[in-house]
Structure 1
Amino acid sequence: MTGVSRPAIRTPDQRIRVFVSSTLRELADERRAVRAAVERMRLAPVMFELGARPHPPRDLYRSYLSQSDVFVGIYGASYGWVAPGEEVSGLEDEYNLAPADMPKLIYIKADEPRDDRLQQLIDRIRADDTAAYLPFRSAEELEAQVADDLANLLAERFDDSRAVAADGEVAPASATARIPVPYTTTIGRERDVAAVRELLARGDDRVVSLIGPGGIGKSRLAIESARATEDLFPDGTYFVLLEGVLEPELLLPAIAYALGIRDNGEAALEERIAHALADRRVLVVLDNFEQIVEAAPVLVRLYSAAPLANFLVTSRIVLRIRGEQVYEVGALETPRPGVPPALERVRASSACALFVDRASAAKPSFALTDENAAAVSYICRCLEGLPLAIELAAAKVRVLTPQAISDRLEQSLPLLTAAVRDLPERHRTMRATIDWSVSLLPAPLPDMLEDLGVFATRFTLDAVEALGAGRSWDGEAVDGLAALVDGSLVAQTEVAGRSVFSLLAIVREYALGRLKARGSADVVRAAHADYYREFVARVAPGLGGSGQASAVAELGLELPNLRAAVRHLIYTDRLDDAGDFAWSLLIYWWIAGFFGEVRVWMLELLEKGGPITSHTRAVAWFFALWGEMWQRPSAEVVAGLAECVRLFTDEGDEDAAAMALAARATARVQFSATDVDKAEGELTEAAATLRRLGNGWAEAITEVSLGRLAWLRGRTDQALEHFERATDVARAGNDVFTMSVAGNLRSRLRVQRGEIEAAEREFVDTLVLSVGLHYDEGVAYGLEGLCAVAGAKGDAWRAGALATAADAIRHRIGVFDVEAFTVHTVSLDALRATDGAAVADGERQGAELSVAEAVALALPEPERTITAEALARW
């Protein structure tokens, strides 16, 4: 299963990241032009647009650079500000820190009088044979140049990724691309990483649990351990963040999401995950498991079905399941009390080393000296070697000396700790340290931090500004976030080209606790939910048409907060709002595959027993019955969906009633072959209604269902008409997802009918669409279709290679194909009888292809070029 390719530019979220370096104010127009060029190429711009701080912390942009793939430098007249204690400006420092092997595109504004130091930097860049540079005269010209240069670079990189090494071997692709990249260096965990690696290498313990209090460093240890065991798990490492997952029933959907498995309701999710993990040596990291510990038995079922898979779990409490090996995560080593704090002894302490590292990042001129060694030693002992507590204290060196920090801790920490005696000792120390850090913030920043506790996992500046309306910090979102980032209480990073913020789990827990104690939690949560209702109302309309891909990406970025918003709406008995919220995202749940999660929410809504409209009841029952319709069809499911039709009709929602009618017809076919005529009539009626109402997306999907039904009944001419109708409707609305689904089915039917040339053209088109959508299942369909074409033309090796590559994708995402619609196996079996050796050779080599290589093998040259940029992001 291990894919192979030349090392290609790749990031955890599978988007190529372009780091943009320039002065902020002088080149504001040029920065906007470069951002536009990068986004036009569907790449992710990495830019410090929070803005007002002239010199972002060095470790922060070092981390951004480590996660980026291309460096773009824009230079005008100014060299930039040189911070106190620094020798170079942030502009030159960014260039210096860019990895030597990172592609560098440099653009120099023509005819500009330049600072001497900037000219010296440019002269050095011109002598650097790893950098390409061009002059530009206007922002418009710059935008065009950057777009062209990135396109050329991506084409070159794609060609490199397909190149074969001299010995005929192809280098393996990274299996750790989904593991988060730490923003800072990890200190003092070498022995822990080695110990965890030994446990995972031994293989006897299927679940290794990293146990410890909040702030001890469990997540960081999990990340470093995952990276250190890359060679043990050649089929991949998957990082599943459970921070925003509060219901045990959502464990499986969270794992599926990380594995790339869409939950479309057509098969039990646990079965699909087990299928995806079977026969693969993978490591699944589950971070923050303590809040859903009741779901722990699910892991036993998964590792029983997938004997080569291992799980690395972080939790504050032990899971207590079979196959679990507990590893207690301890604090960092501190200098022993009563021993003179000699400089070398303090420097040798991992806790003190962490303090010095983070203090130096906060204040570059900071250094450990004979004069401050005793204070640093006391701080680290006082904080019991807790990494997060030490980081929070170290951040204060911007405004306090180590001795002043030590004095303040000595005064406040015992009092604060005593106030929370009901917590475990180290947890008390951590909470007290956060209290102390917050006490140093100027008003109204403590209020702001507490309010931010309602966000799940990550959040944007827009969301923060909306939340602040009417709060004590209204209008201070930008400066307030900057101050909280500086104080290490909020983290800032780039996701999908946007600046996003997050709180560590224990800081969020602290903030939310304070908010509840203040009696403001419900008010702020309501504001949070209202913002995301407005957000969904703005974004959701794009799901059915030309904005589909960007809408799916934008909603995916906010998925944790969408979960939190629905949860709050249900918790506060705003049940009708919750129903409307869920229904407006129907297309997103369908494309992204989140029906299992929505079912949990809607069942909870129904169990509340509160007053709801008939429309909300119909929505809840529709989502609750969706999975049952596919997995456990019954007369009760058919009757339940009929009730949904009635309720939607009574509420005057013809559109929803037609979709429920189409679902009922599908349930009929799943349940009883004798109801096929009724099902066809219901689907036809639904399609006509949706056409009349102008719901192109639902009409196209319903036409696909009609085509599948006609095919099953042997009416291939009729089936082809429905698939063509679905494609035409989807194309008219720029609905790429349905174009891919309908196109693949239509092409398969053409193969069965012997229309090989027409099928080949259509399979090429739909494969290009699926690659652009990053739609794994569609890519598998396309590869299988072109396998069938190769088989019909007698190309045994190519047919074998494409079949195996497609099967690898299906295995990875846990997707089972419907036998009635599978056409490539017939020609493949025929080739095995006539040229079995070539088929077998193709299958062996196909098993070693990456997705990009398999697609390159399948597509003719013009389409290969078209998909180069999308494949480079795969």
Structure 2
Amino acid sequence: MTGVGHPVIRTPDQRIRVFVSSTLRELAEEREAVRSAIERLRLAPVMFELGARPHPPRDLYRSYLAQSDVFVGIYGASYGWVAPEEQVSGLEDEYNLAPRGMPKLIYVKDADGRDERLAELIARIQADDTAAYLHFRSAAELEDQVAGDLAMLLAERFDESRVPSAPELEEAPTTLVGRVPVPYTTTIGREPDIDAVRTLLARGTDRVVSLIGPGGIGKSRLAIETALACEDLFPDGVYFVLLEGVLEPGLLLPTIAYYLGIRDNGEAALEERIAHALAERRVLIVLDNFEQIVDAAPVLVRLYTVAPSATFLVTSRVVLRIRGERVYEVPALSTPPGDGPASLDRATRSAAVSLFVDRARAIDPDFDVTGDNARDLADICRTLEGLPLAIELAAAKVRILTPAGIAERLGQSLPLLTAAVRDLPERHRTMRATIDWSVSLLPAAERALLDDLGVFATRFTLEAVEALGAGRPWEGQAIDGLAALVDGSLVKQYEIGGRRVFSLLAIVREYAVGRLKANGDADRVRRAHADYYCELVRQVAPELGGRGQADAVLRLGLELPNLRAAVRHLVYTNRLDDAGDFAWSLLIYWWISGFFAEVRVWMLELLEKQHDQPITQHTRAIAWFFALWGEMWQRPSEQVVAGLGECVRLFTESGDEDAAAMALAARATARVQFSELDADKAEAELREAVVTLRERGNTWAEAITEVSLGRLAWVRGATGDALAHFDRATSVAESGGDLFTTSVAGNLRSRLNFQLGRIEDAEHEFIHTLLLSVTLHYEEGVAYGLEGVCAVAAAHGEAWRAAALAVAAGEIRRRIGIFDVEAFTVHTPYLEILRGRDPQSVAAGEAAGEELTVGEAVQLALPEDEYAAVAEKLRTW
């Protein structure tokens, strides 16, 4: 099997990467100057001398280019060496291989003479409309030019994409979940706080550092900036967990698992998986907006006890009051001293005034402190007590008011508004009053729209907003209303997954929900929200088991916060049967994405409410099925088997033979978990379930049940029967377009084929299932696929490659918490043989494997043409 010579090189901090192309010896001084310019801007230089390894140069610079963001070319007098059997030098080849869409900054050194082929290349570059071209004379001049051009490039890209999310942050694609968001506006006045919190984290003596303060004081922004400033302290990763919209304490662990990339399939306790994933890893986990689930704080003590090298940075309005907590009170921004005017000098200007000016310039680029407005700006910032969000809301009003007008209206309104909410702490009152004041300037329809938006969780689309409009004061005005709220800094807009979405800051959402309740409209809007997402699920769910599976999983992932909210609304408004149907229709999604613990929380709440609100037998069966799923794997017992048997009965009596067959298959699986294996009864139930599911046309459930039959047969030593079941499962899944089950069944089939000595067949399918897993962003499947290719490489005697893949797969397993022993492992025996024959190569491969990213490991596993098909998907891993 032929693979890529070596994987791509990628910076661990995910900064913008700048590829530097030039002749090495001729322009060594210039290369160092360019490196300095790049690092001045906190970007990552991508240069051979910073990490080249002994493998084919063309493969190396192709790999570097594949994951770089900007191309910088430096040309002097020499065209460079043309390698044997090559037509062009590496210098020209690098330019040719740079993607057309990649920004290219080209710098040509003044020279008396130039190689003819280099002159031809430069002439071609001059005609390239994707490249910017400049001359330079010295290394010092080059450094300044590169720094200036990169800054300009970033500014241009910023202006093109300035659609920030709450709190004015770039929202990463779904595949980047857990990464620290990148602020898209300037953070002002927080340098001392960042340094202070970094010092606390660097000491390593505090397991939980809590950033405490009222809403709007900038806790989230401080946490983000601190996390970005502490990447060097936590070499094993920094994760950002958004808890906004997570209202049940029982959802803390599932949410942390989701952001860590841990798939909860129910087979092990989630707390154990998280603990295993964090064991011996120096990681920082940021938990943002903890106040709404503060009762779950003791869970953090359990986590840091079993994972002592993990540190938690928490933002909350209230102190957690747990062992190991260090509290940092987040201060307001500094305001002008005394009662004097704002400083005209930027160097002596207070942070609050600097923030106001910065945000006002987004509306009026020429805005600044002047002799005419200095006192008004100082009064505004002092009145708003240096609260960053309050200042930003006020600054947004320069669109319609002068600073004098803003100061006057705040002076008239704020004292009255704060007096109306005396039950809140002082700065909470100021923030609430500022939102009140800002909203009071809106027309009635826009005020009503803002109230209704409070029903959404985290983010929402225009289509979803419009679905809530029937009969509301803003009906038919959603587009214009959203635009006005965006202009007023009350709603944020950004793009995710190619779709324009909107969001509210947590404190604004809280304010809107409070008004909805006060107006008596909360239940009505909740019903409309739930109806919209129920309809969305009805449209998308049928695709989950077939050819639209990958797109359906992606779309539901983007809507996950509102799917959670919809279930909550259905349960809260006593639409319990609708909640059960909603959860059941997404069974495949919960399975693929691993959300069983989360669904269990909702279903247990549903069962608690059945005493006051009757439910159908079908809904009761659904709720018990989800409640028993984790028990089936983690604590199998006769009671669990009996409970699933009751689910079979309830589904059958409800007339849902399809669901009854799935419950029967689950009951058989529970039997298999016993130490006293009742294999005959389990096999009989699985076979009965397969027949029913085939008759009902449920290809997804039929295929996954065939997989269970195959696993059972393999454990019992009936390899022929096992292979037949895996063949049928793969055939059924492929015919229906079910990528997930095709991957699961194919992986098992390939392992069994390998064990039976059919190496070539196994290799082909290992590669195929690895590609499917990448397409689905199914990291567990990726780990299995890498282990399979490792087995083949080991069988072929490729010691270094096999060892690197084995460690890379093990790192994925550890990171996502797959610590349960894999009963069908095939790669380790061959690797141990190689360890005896070639221990040095195995040791070198294992050392290399520890450094590989997921993308690098996949590239090492795949043939070059196969890797090209998924390279773009892997860029976001």
Q: Do they fold alike, i.e. is TM over 0.5?
A: yes
Question: 2:401 is paired with a residue of what secondary structure?
Answer: coil
Alignment match, 1:510: 511
* Residue 388 (structure 2) aligns with: 387
> In structure 1, what is the equivalent of residue 632 of structure 2?
629
Distance 1:627 1:451 in 2: 37
Please tell me whether the aligned partners of residues 279 and 306 of structure 1 are also in contact (alpha carbons under 8 angstroms). yes
Matches within 5 A, 1:531-542: 531-542=532-543
Corresponding residue of 2:376:
375
Q: Is the CA contact 1:342–1:370 (under 8 Å) kept in the aligned structure 2? A: no
- Provide the rounded CA distance (Å) in 2 between the counterparts of 1:10 and 1:308: 19
Change (3 A) 1:535 1:841: same
User: In structure 2, how many angstroms separate the alpha carbons of the residues matched to 1:347 and 1:476?
Assistant: 45
- Residue in 2 aligned with 1:591? 592
Q: Does residue 103 of the first structure (1) align with residue 102 of the second (2)?
A: yes
Q: In structure 1, what is the Cα distance between the partners aligned to 2:323 and 2:658? A: 49
- Return the offset for 1:618: 0.2
Match of 1:337 in 2: 338
The 8 Å contact of residues 340 and 375 in structure 2, kept in 1 or not, is answered as: no
Contact 2:244 2:458 in 1 (8 A): yes
Structure 2 equivalent of residue 682 of structure 1 = 685
Q: CA deviation at 1:234?
A: 1.6
Q: Give the number of aligned pairs.
A: 734
1:283 partner SS: strand
Tell me the secondary structure at the aligned position of residue 821 of structure 1. Answer: coil
SS in 1 for 2:345: helix
Query: Which has the larger displacement, 563-572 or 665-674?
Result: 665-674
How far off its partner does 1:256 sit? 0.5
Q: Which stretch of the first structure deviates more once superposed, 376-385 or 336-345?
A: 336-345
Q: CA deviation at 1:387?
A: 0.3
Alpha-carbon contact 1:9-1:873 (below 8 Å) kept: no
The CA deviation string for residues 745-771 of structure 1, in whole angstroms up to 9 with x for no partner, is: 111111211221211111111111111
The answer on whether the counterparts of 1:10 and 1:872 sit within 8 Å (CA) in structure 2 is: no
Q: Which amino acid is the alignment partner of residue 420 of structure 2?
A: A
1:646 corresponds in structure 2 to: 649
Shift of 1:866: 2.2
Task: Give the conservation status (yes or no) of the 8 Å contact 2:198–2:230.
Answer: yes
Would you say 1:845 and 2:851 are equivalent positions?
Answer: no
- Quick check: 2:239–2:284 contact (8 Å CA) kept in 1? yes
Q: Secondary structure at the match of 2:501?
A: strand
Distance change in 2, residues 1:304/1:10 (3 Å): closer
- Pick the aligned partner of 1:769 from 768, 772, 792: 772
Corresponding residue for residue 782 of structure 1: 785
Give yes or no for contact 1:583–1:619 (8 Å, CA) kept in 2: yes
Is contact 1:11-1:177 (8 Å) kept? no
Seen in structure 2, the aligned counterparts of structure 1 residues 476 and 11 have a Cα distance that, compared at 3 Å, is farther
The residue matched to 2:188 in structure 1 has which SS?
coil
- Residue number in structure 2 paired with 1:701: 704
Cα offset, 1:872, TM superposition: 2.4
- Paired AA for residue 529 in structure 2: H
Q: Check 1:417–1:102 CA distance in 2 against 1; reply closer, same or farther (3 A cut).
A: farther
Distance 1:473 1:681 in 2: 59
**Separation of aligned partners in 2, 1:549 and 1:690:** 23
| Counterpart-to-counterpart distance in 2, 1:579 and 1:455 | 21
Q: Secondary structure at the match of 2:236?
A: coil
Q: Which moved more, 1:586-595 or 1:824-833?
A: 824-833
Change in Cα spacing, 1:775 to 1:674, as seen in structure 2 (3 Å) is closer
How far apart are 1:833 and its partner, in Å? 2.4
Q: Do the aligned partners of 2:356 and 2:391 also contact (CA within 8 Å) in 1?
A: yes
1:315 equivalenced with 2:337 (yes/no): no
2:444 aligned partner: 443
Q: Supply the AA of the counterpart residue of 1:771.
A: V
**1:136 matched to which residue of 2?**
none
2:243 is aligned to 242
What aligned pairs does 1:460-471 form with structure 2 within 5 A after superposition? 460-471=461-472
Q: CA 1:437–1:101 in 2, change beyond 3 Å: closer, same or farther?
A: farther
The gaps in structure 2 that reach 5 residues or longer are 1-5, 17-67, 72-98, 106-124, 134-174
Instruction: Measure how far apart 1:503 and its partner are.
Output: 0.4
Deviates more, 1:181-190 or 1:703-712: 181-190
Please tell me the residue identity of whatever aligns with 1:382: T
| Cα deviation, residue 873, structure 1 | 3.0
* Aligned residue in 2 for 1:365: 366
Deviations 1:635-661 (A, max 9, x none): 000000000000000011011000000
Give 2:794's match in structure 1, choosing from 773, 791, 795.
791
Equivalent pair of 1:176/1:227 in contact (CA under 8 Å): no
Q: Which amino acid aligns with 1:541?
A: P
Query: What pairs up with 1:113-152 in 2 under 5 angstroms?
Result: 130=131
In structure 2, C-alpha distance between the alignment counterparts of 1:187 and 1:425, rounded to whole Å? 23
Give the SS at the match of 1:658: helix
Query: What is the CA-CA distance between 1:824 and the residue it aligns to?
Result: 1.1
**Other structure's SS at 1:470 match:** coil
Q: Give, in whole Å, the separation in 2 of the partners of 1:710 and 1:716.
A: 7
- The CA deviation at 1:832 is 2.0
Which of 722, 727, 743 pairs up with 2:725? 722
Distance 2:842 2:491 in 1: 56
Q: State which drifts further: 343-352 or 528-537.
A: 343-352
Give how far 1:443 is off.
2.4
Kept after mapping to 1: 8 A contact 2:207/2:310: yes
8 Å contact from structure 1 (residues 103, 131) kept in 2: no
- Cα distance 1:626–1:651, how it changes in 2: closer, same or farther (>3 A)? same
TM-score scaled by length of structure 1: 0.81
Between the aligned partners of 1:331 and 1:606, the Cα distance in structure 2 is: 45
1:413 paired residue number: 414
Distance 1:344 1:244, change over 3 A: same
Q: Secondary structure at the match of 1:243?
A: coil
Secondary structure of 2:264's aligned partner: coil
Aligned position for 2:739: 736
Residues of 1 paired with 2:425 and 2:323: CA distance? 27
Alignment partner of 2:751: what SS?
A: helix
1:681/1:341 CA distance change after superposition, 3 Å: closer
* Contact 2:178 2:240 survives alignment (8 Å): no
Report the AA paired with residue 395 of structure 2.
A
Distance 1:238 1:5 in 2: 23
Measured after TM superposition, the shift of residue 723 of structure 1 is: 0.5
Report if aligned partners of 1:70, 1:102 keep a CA contact under 8 Å in 2.
no
Normalised by the length of structure 2, the TM-score is 0.81
What's the offset of the Cα at 1:841?
1.6
| 1:794 CA drift (Å) | 2.1
Secondary structure of 1:320 counterpart: coil
**Distance in 1 between the 2:540 and 2:329 partners?**
44
Provide the rounded CA distance (Å) in 1 between the counterparts of 2:382 and 2:345.
16
Could you tell me which amino acid in structure 1 is paired with residue 131 of structure 2? T
Q: Is the 8 A contact 1:176 1:237 kept in 2?
A: no
| SS of corresponding position for 2:495 | strand
Residues 586 and 105 of structure 1, relative CA distance in 2, 3 Å threshold = farther
Contact conserved, 1:794 with 1:831, CA < 8 A, in 2? yes
CA distance in 2, matches of 1:633, 1:342: 70
Q: State the AA in 1 paired with 2:418.
A: T
Distance 1:360 1:665, change over 3 A: same
**How has the CA–CA distance of structure 1 residues 633 and 526 changed in structure 2, closer, same or farther, with 3 Å as cutoff?**
same
Separation in structure 2 between the aligned mates of residue 481 and residue 400 of structure 1, nearest angstrom:
20
The equivalent of 2:759 in structure 1 is 756
Matched, 1:612 2:612: no
Deviation (angstroms), 1:69: 6.3
**1-side partners of 2:350 and 2:847: how far apart?**
52
* CA shift digits 1:273-321 (9 cap, x unpaired): 1111111111110000011111111111111111221110000011111
Aligned residue for 1:379, secondary structure, equals helix
Structure 2 match to 1:164: none
Q: Quick one: structure 1 residues 101 and 439, their matched pair in 2 at CA, closer, same or farther if it must change by over 3 Å?
A: farther
Distance 1:424 1:696, change over 3 A: same
Distance 2:400 2:365 in 1: 13
In 1, Cα distance between equivalents of 2:860 and 2:544: 32
Output one character per residue of 1:46-105: Cα deviation in whole Å (capped at 9) or x when no partner. xxxxxxxxxxxxxxxxxxxxxx9699xxxxxxxxxxxxxxxxxxxxxxxxxxxx998249
| CA 265–177 in structure 1, closer or farther in 2 if over 3 Å, else same | closer
SS at match of 1:181: coil
Give the Cα separation in 1 of the matches to 2:70 and 2:658. 46
1:41-120 equivalence runs, <5 A:
103-104=102-103
User: Is 1:216 aligned to 2:217, yes or no?
Assistant: yes
| 1:29 aligned partner | none
1:794-827 CA-partner distances (Å, limit 9, x unpaired): 2222221111010011011111253421111111
- Preserved contact between residue 772 and residue 870 of structure 1 (Cα < 8 Å): yes
Q: Is contact 2:343–2:349 with CA below 8 Å preserved after alignment?
A: no
